[in-house]
Structure 1
Amino acid sequence: MVNSTQFSYFILSAYFNSGLLKYLVFMIILLLFVAIGFANFFLIVIICMNRSLHEPMYLFLCSLFVNELYGSAGLFPFLLVQIISDTHTVSASLCFLQIFCLYSYVSVEFCNLALMSYDRYLAICCPLQYNTRMTFNKVAVFTAVIWLYFFLKFLITLSLSIRLPLCGNIINSVYCHNYLVVKLTCPGTRVNKIFGLFAGTIAVLVPLIPILFSYMKILKVCFSGSKETRQKAVSTCTPHLVSLLNFSFGCCFETLHTRFDMTSVPSVLRIILSLYFLIIQPLFNPIMYGLRMSKIRKICKSLVY
């Protein structure tokens, strides 16, 4: 018989004693948090205040930037407290709240990128039908559905995780992670693990299918179209593709890190790569889209000069 209990707190074991270096790390993380907050909020305001940007592509971008702020708020304050603290413990309620924020952020991010790929497919492959097939109302419905769906889905996931009987409370990470919490459960929780696997598969397949479909169609048009069509496709798809690949790389490493033995990788490198998609993506997106999207770039220049 395995003894189980409901722990009131978790221990984050991936932190290590860095002495005075922790103050430098604290300042770096704080500066990143401020930069991410400013860049994303600035672009949200620009899109909302300029009627010329009230088009589907920019509205999806606005949703993406809002999600970056949401995910950053779920990670950075927590990291800052843990870095400066000498005891790396977190209450169970705060841990599950962070899990909800970060997991919903990742899923909404992936679905936002899927909607943006479908939008690019319509703009490139069906330009004459674009305005009728991608209306403002459809954009609002698509955006609301992905936010509500993943919020409800992870509420169900968390309601199952919270009730799990645990045989330990040590999480080998620098932030709370649902899979690592589930790994702490005592034998006999197969239903939760099956649901988690099913929910994770759906969370990946739902956005992956439209992404693959959209880019297969775009590639087909590029290979069979004119030089002008190829240039248009490259200019409009490059920011999205780079953002998608950047996010996918971070997610893939985080999956490997939590599900397989990575002890051969130095601990500092594991920590950096596990935080990669939660830090670089919110910082990278506003820079990439701000520089690559000509309308946004022109408005930014007019504000500066």
Structure 2
Amino acid sequence: MATLNLSSPDPSTFILTGIPGLEAAYIWISIPFSTVYVIGLLGNFTILFVVGKEQTLHSPMYLLICMLALTDIGISTSVVPKTLCIFWFNLKVITLGGCLTQMFFLHTVSLMQSAVLLTMAFDRYVAICNPLNYATILTNARIAKLGLVGLIRAVLFVLPLPVLLSQQPFCANRIIPHTYCEHIAVAKISCGDTTVNRVYGLVMAFVIIGLDLILVALSYGLILRAVLRISSKKALQKSLNTCTAHICVMATSFTLFFFSTLTHRFGQGIAPHVHIFFANFFYLFPPMLNPIIYGVKTKELRDKVGKYTCRQ
């Protein structure tokens, strides 16, 4: 494999370093990376296939699970293929257009996933707190419209990131210490004033996603209040079980997201290879775990998946 001259990169390209210091172990590192990625793809495509084939699953809750599966596929696919190209073939070069495109797609799908998780919380709130009107409040058409609003919101808020960076000057240092093009990682190598980029990126991450989290917390606060009023222990357990899968998905997704975001900006004391590992975990493990969580915790979905796998 050819070794790139990192000291004099082409002016129209960037170089992704991969995981500094662990170059000798790339082949071994690629095994869990590719395995987790493939398992995630299989799990999410299985959910999309089963829900698409089964008319009984054409309901708002399963439509939301399909939206989550699509965002999981988009998030992992925007990162892992390029990372594996670095590990397997030492293909570290990426064009400016390719870098900004990857950044736009990655952050757009991440914000879209946050909107889907918020809509899922609202779905659980209506199902538990207003079950008699669930069918009229949350129809498939309304869920589709909410998904479209989430997508438009994500595009409008993320689009300024690559636009602002495309106006920045990049001097001799075009080396990005990462396996993919993340906004702050690219902004750090600019030789211009990136104050606007940094402030906007921080506001977008914490205000938009923070607002989503506040609304999710509000939904679960109302759910908890309604659940505590239930006298029947069996009904109480059933109500809580309907929220378990969503809470698990929220915990894995947002914990890793905020860890990755904070370490990019304030984690100067963290070793680069540790930070890059955790940043990749955020885009690898939730897409693998989410279909497993919903497959285990949602009986109807589990039964339908078993029906098709046993048939095969």
Q: Which runs of 4+ in 1 moved over 4 A?
A: 17-20
Identity within the alignment, % = 27
Structure 1 residues 130-156: Cα deviation after superposition (integer angstroms, max 9, x where no partner)? 111111221110011111221233223
> 2 CA distance for matches of 1:183 and 1:214?
38
| Residue 242 of structure 1: how far off its partner (Å) | 0.8
For residues 92 and 19 of structure 2, the distance between their equivalents in structure 1, rounded to whole angstroms, comes to 7
Instruction: Look up the match of 1:258.
Output: 264
Match of 2:209?
204
Structural mapping, 1:1-305, within 5 Å: 7-16=11-20, 18=22, 21-86=25-90, 88-167=92-171, 168-226=173-231, 227-263=233-269, 265-305=270-310
Q: Deviations along 1:81-138, whole A, 9 cap, x unmatched?
A: 0112346332222211111121112111111111001100000011111111111221
Instruction: Give distance in 2, aligned partners of 1:7 and 1:215.
Output: 51
TM-score normalized by structure 1? 0.90
CA 1:144 to 1:30, structure 2 compared with 1: closer, same or farther past 3 Å? same
- Counterpart CA distance in 2 for 1:154 and 1:99 is 9
In terms of mean alpha carbon deviation, does 138-147 or 163-172 score higher? 163-172
Following the alignment from structure 1 to structure 2, what is the Cα–Cα distance between the partners of residues 303 and 204? 37
What letter is aligned with 1:282? P
Contact 1:47–1:62, Cα closer than 8 Å, also in 2: yes
For the residues of structure 2 that align with 1:199 and 1:16, how far apart are their CA atoms?
A: 29
**Any stretches of 5+ residues in structure 1 without a counterpart?**
1-5
Aligned residue pairs total: 299
| Alpha-carbon distance change, 11 to 69 in structure 1, aligned in 2, over 3 angstroms | same
2: CA distance, partners of 1:159 / 1:143: 25
Is the Cα–Cα contact under 8 Å of residues 218 and 233 in structure 1 kept in the other structure?
no
Aligned equivalents of 1:185 and 1:23: distance in 2? 31
Deviation at 1:237, TM superposition (A): 0.6
CA contact (8 A) 1:290 1:297 kept: yes
Give the whole-Å Cα distance in 1 for the aligned partners of 2:161 and 2:51: 34
Note closer, same or farther for the CA distance 1:19–1:283 as it changes in structure 2 (3 Å cut).
same
Deviation at 1:46, TM superposition (A): 0.5
Question: Alpha-carbon deviation of 1:205?
Answer: 3.5
Question: Equivalents in 1 of 2:24, 2:14: separation in Å?
Answer: 25
* Amino acid in structure 1 at the alignment position of 2:183: N
Per the alignment, in what secondary structure is the counterpart of residue 19 of structure 2?
Answer: coil
CA distance in 2 between partners of 1:239 and 1:286 (Å): 10
Q: Distance in 2 between matches of 1:166 and 1:266?
A: 25
- In 2: Cα distance, 1:97 partner to 1:78 partner: 13
Aligned twin of 1:3 = none
1:17 deviation in Å?
5.4
In structure 1, what residue type is equivalent to 2:128?
I
